[in-house]
Structure formats: structure tokens, C-alpha cells
């Protein structure tokens, strides 16, 4: 019994520590997000993506008592700022570039879906290998979790037509420019809500887990991440997403 008590004490202390932050004021956090959203086509008054994850960040930081602001950056600059600590927080897909500079939450905060769209009569697509030898439309600026490398590999014989916008991509599909369109479900659903296409079908191609990301340079980074993760588990992220989409852009 004595051994059991001694072993349990550090565990209890660890749990208590994870639930509390230092009494001293924490420095303001910059939430850096990509300037090309995988969630929406909408933009705010400053022309930045009307990112629904801002609603999640608002709840996280309000409950943690942490001052914060948000800014969108091109992907390369975003990763550089996280690496040098100029930006301290983000919500991103796990990437090798984050390993050295940042802590990632143990669980994803949400999932980003990549889908394949096509008209009835075309064979369904279940895996990227089903696109070998096919004509595909994609949107400029997205890597699609490495899919663009698959498309540009000549061995796969993918004829990849690149559109400048999500709306343009669906217009290309409607005109028969290619048989398949690969896109993120969020922006695609917004485009199709405005301009539905009859007999359109889609299949899920991949799911990308999105994690909380915190710079290791932030004071007491591990304890802060533990606290944010605890708060995140209490949030209804799907509801926050839906509420943010119902709100008009500022």
C-alpha cells in the first residue's frame, strides 16, 4: 500500500499542474494561419480568410485567460514565423517542419476533408491510385496533403488542369475540361451552395487531422499546451464552425 501511494503522488501532482497556468501574466499570442484557407472562400474586411477556426481560438484563449490576436500569412512565411517564435500558435496538419520548433496537441482539434467531385456516370474514386491516367482539376496554391506531387509525377499520367479559384475549378468541371475535380470540402460546399451542379457526385479521398500548434519558445509551453488541450476537449468544434458560417463576414 505504501508503494502504491508513493507512485500515485507524482501522477496527482502532474494532473494538477496540467490544469493550472502560472499566476504571472502570459505574453500575447499571435495565431498565425495560412492566407489560403482549406475551410472557406469567404474573406473579411481586410481581405484575409474568414477562418472558422478563429471561433475555436477565441474560446480557447478566453478560457485560458491568454491575450491573443490573429494574422494570416503565406505558407512559407507562416512556418518561418513559427520556427523563429515570431508567431506562437497555429492550428495545422502535422508537418515535419513543426517538429523542432513547436509542440503539437496529442489529439486533433478537427479534420479537413479532401474530396473528389465528378458527374454521374464516371467511375467513383476511392484512392489516389484510382486517378492514375485520369484528367484532374485542382486549385492553385494547394498541396492537398502531398497529392500535387502525385499529380505531377509523370509515371502516374495525371493530366492536371489548375484553376485559380474554387469557383473556377467547378466551372471547368462543368465544361468538361476534365472528368474529376479534387478540392477541400469546405470551400467546395460554399461554391456549390451558390451554383449547384446537377448530377454531381463526390467521394472522400483523404482526411487530414488538424492539431493545436504552440511554439516551444512560449513561456511554460508544455503546461500551456496541456491547458489548451484540456479546454479543447470541452469545445463543440462542429457547432463553432456552423455558427461562424452563419455569421456575416465583418
User: Are 43 and 102 members of one domain?
Assistant: yes
**For the chain, how many structural domains are there in total?**
2
**What was the pLDDT predicted at 244?**
77
**What was the pLDDT predicted at 21?**
53
C-alpha cell read off for 11: 501522477
Report the relative pairing of strands 180-184 and 159-163 from DSSP bridges.
Answer: unpaired
User: Are 232 and 167 members of one domain?
Assistant: no
> CA-to-CA distance for 51 and 151, rounded, in angstroms?
28
- pLDDT higher than threshold 80 for residue 153: yes
**Could you tell me the CATH number of the domain that includes residue 213?**
3.40.190.10
Full domain range(s) for residue 118? 112-207
User: Are 227 and 188 members of one domain?
Assistant: no
User: Are 155 and 170 members of one domain?
Assistant: yes
**What was the pLDDT predicted at 97?**
87
User: CB-hemisphere CA count at 13 Å for 164?
Assistant: 0
User: Are 100 and 165 members of one domain?
Assistant: no
User: Are 81 and 105 members of one domain?
Assistant: yes
**What was the pLDDT predicted at 23?**
55
Digit-coded pLDDT (tens) for 71-94? 999 999 999 999 999 999 999 999
User: Are 55 and 173 members of one domain?
Assistant: no
User: Are 117 and 106 members of one domain?
Assistant: no
Q: Provide the β-strand partners of residue 202.
A: 117
**How distant, in Å, are the alpha carbons of 43, 44, 48, 52, 187 from that of 248?**
10, 9, 14, 12, 16
**What was the pLDDT predicted at 249?**
47
List the single range of 119-128, 141-150, 190-199, 224-233 with lowest mean pLDDT: 141-150
pTM of the model: 0.84
DSSP assignment of 153-198, as one string? -GGG--EEEEESSHHHHHHHHHTTS-SEEEEEHHHHHHHHHHS--T
**What was the pLDDT predicted at 25?**
73
- pLDDT higher than threshold 90 for residue 242: no
C-alpha cell read off for 125: 474514386
User: Are 200 and 122 members of one domain?
Assistant: yes
Sign of the CA dihedral 126, 245, 74, 212?
negative
User: Are 239 and 182 members of one domain?
Assistant: no
User: Are 30 and 125 members of one domain?
Assistant: no
> CA-to-CA distance for 212 and 224, rounded, in angstroms?
11
User: Are 215 and 96 members of one domain?
Assistant: yes
Digit-coded pLDDT (tens) for 192-229? 999 999 999 999 999 999 999 999 999 999 999 999 99
Q: pLDDT-based confidence at 33, cuts 50/70/90?
A: very high
Amino acid at each position: 500500500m505504501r508503494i502504491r501511494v508513493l507512485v500515485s503522488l507524482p501522477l496527482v501532482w502532474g494532473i494538477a499542474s496540467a490544469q493550472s497556468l502560472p499566476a504571472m501574466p502570459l505574453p500575447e499570442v499571435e495565431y498565425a494561419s495560412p492566407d489560403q484557407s482549406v475551410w472557406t472562400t469567404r474573406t473579411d474586411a481586410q481581405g484575409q480568410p474568414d477562418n472558422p477556426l478563429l471561433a475555436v481560438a477565441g474560446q480557447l484563449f478566453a478560457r485560458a485567460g491568454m491575450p491573443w490576436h490573429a494574422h494570416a500569412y503565406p505558407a512559407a512565411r507562416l512556418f518561418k514565423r513559427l520556427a523563429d517564435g515570431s508567431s506562437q500558435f497555429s492550428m495545422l496538419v502535422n508537418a515535419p517542419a513543426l517538429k523542432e520548433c513547436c509542440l503539437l496537441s496529442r489529439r486533433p482539434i478537427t479534420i479537413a476533408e479532401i474530396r473528389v467531385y465528378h458527374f454521374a456516370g464516371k467511375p467513383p474514386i476511392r484512392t489516389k491510385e484510382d486517378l492514375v491516367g485520369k484528367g484532374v482539376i485542382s486549385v492553385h496554391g494547394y498541396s492537398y496533403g502531398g497529392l500535387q506531387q502525385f499529380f505531377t509525377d509523370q509515371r502516374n499520367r495525371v493530366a492536371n488542369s489548375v484553376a485559380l479559384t474554387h469557383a473556377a475549378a467547378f466551372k471547368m468541371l462543368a465544361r468538361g475540361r476534365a472528368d474529376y475535380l479534387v478540392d477541400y470540402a469546405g470551400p467546395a460546399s460554399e461554391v456549390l451552395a451558390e451554383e449547384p451542379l446537377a448530377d454531381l457526385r463526390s467521394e472522400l479521398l483523404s482526411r487530414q487531422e488538424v492539431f493545436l500548434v504552440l511554439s516551444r519558445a512560449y513561456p511554460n509551453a508544455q503546461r500551456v499546451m496541456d491547458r489548451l488541450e484540456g479546454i479543447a476537449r470541452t469545445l463543440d468544434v462542429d457547432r463553432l464552425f456552423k455558427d461562424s458560417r452563419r455569421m456575416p463576414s465583418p
